[in-house]
Amino acid sequence: MSTDLPDSSLPTFSDEDERFMRRALQLAGHARDAENEVPVGALLVLNGDIIGLGWNRNITLNDPTAHAEIQALRAAGEKVGNYRLTGATLYVTLEPCAMCSMAMVHARVARVVYGATDPKTGAAGSVFDTLISERHNHRIQVDAGLLAEESSTMLREFFRSRR
């Protein structure tokens, strides 16, 4: 949950990117406040429209796959009537894990924008390079570090309060 990204690796984000990431942070806050879940929020955007929302629900649903990204992907698939989400961008407050990254590859998501890095299980460049691996038939553009400090702070405070 670090924000240690070299300045040269930071992409330029648009106002729209920031607006969607702020919405993801609101969803993370909902996970924390309404369901006492690890505060991670995600949303999928296609052609400027939000097509899927998600927040961590592992504890609430007794489901190890109920990560924010998976919840957003499921909602988006239902909304568009297809498991392929070609051209979509996923915004998430924490770097995706290997499970979520592979789900995005299978869904053909075009781009992932995340906030805080996850130095333990991150699969978007920190620990694994799952999203850009040439071994897969689809690669995803990864833009890291948007509102990373806000994302990291929310996670750090959540875990501190549980100790």
Residues assigned a catalytic role = 69
Secondary structure (3-state) at 87: coil
Mapped onto helix, strand or coil, the DSSP state of residue 102 is helix
Angle between helices 15-35 and 148-162 (to 10 degrees): 10
Q: 18: part of which helix (H) or strand (E)?
A: helix 15-35
Closest by Cα among 65, 110, 55, 57 to 84: 110
Residue pair 117/148 in contact (Cβ under 8 Å)? The answer is: yes
